[in-house]
């Protein structure tokens, strides 16, 4: 157990809808990253938040957005869902300390877009 939790575990949406996924970071971690993992692929970096500000973004369109709250929990929002958004969404928390720190991953949310 990493201490990182995600909700919901599974979700089914239809094309065009909006979805919000949630992540609760490990205690004391001030950084959260989100990844998308399509079936049979490695996780792809979406973005990272550090102290409530976006701290880096991968090759994902603006309809993917996020929030980090003062208690360091986080949300991933996806608007105008497309079929290709079907994937496992993983969040990972870490402590930013000027170097590289291990990221601890949650169990993921499985999103299916019909």
Partner 1 sequence: KQEVTQIPAALSVPEGENLVLNCSFTDSAIYNLQWFRQDPGKGLTSLLLIQSSQREQTSGRLNASLDKSSGRSTLYIAASQPGDSATYLCAVPNSGGSNYKLTFGKGTLLTVNP
Binding region for partner 1 (CB under 8 A): 2, 4, 6, 31, 33, 35, 40-45, 48, 50, 55-56, 58, 88, 90, 92, 94, 96-97, 99-108, 110
| Shortest distance (Å) from residue 49 CB to partner 1 | 10
| Shortest distance (Å) from residue 90 CB to partner 1 | 6
| Shortest distance (Å) from residue 58 CB to partner 1 | 7
Buried-state track 72-84, b at ≥16 Cβ within 10 A, e below 16: bbbbbebeebeee
Strand partners, 45: 35
- Enter the tokens of residue 62: 């603006």
Q: Is 94 left (phi over 0), alpha (psi -120 to 50) or beta?
A: beta
If the CB atoms of residues 16 and 85 are measured against partner 1, the closer one turns out to be: 85
If the CB atoms of residues 38 and 80 are measured against partner 1, the closer one turns out to be: 38
If the CB atoms of residues 75 and 107 are measured against partner 1, the closer one turns out to be: 107
Number of continuous H segments (helices) and E segments (strands) in the chain? 0, 11
């Amino acid at each position: 157990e990493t201490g990182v939790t995600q909700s919901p575990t599974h979700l089914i949406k239809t094309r065009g809808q909006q979805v919000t996924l949630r992540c609760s970071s490990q205690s004391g971690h001030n950084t959260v990253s989100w990844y998308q993992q399509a079936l049979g692929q490695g996780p792809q970096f979406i973005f990272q938040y550090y102290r409530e500000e976006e701290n880096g973004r991968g090759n994902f369109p603006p309809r993917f957005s996020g929030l980090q709250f003062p208690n360091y929990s986080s949300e991933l929002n996806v608007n105008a869902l497309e079929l290709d958004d079907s994937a496992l969404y993983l969040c990972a928390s870490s402590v930013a300390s000027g170097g590289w720190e291990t990221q601890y991953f949650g169990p993921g949310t499985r999103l299916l877009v019909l």
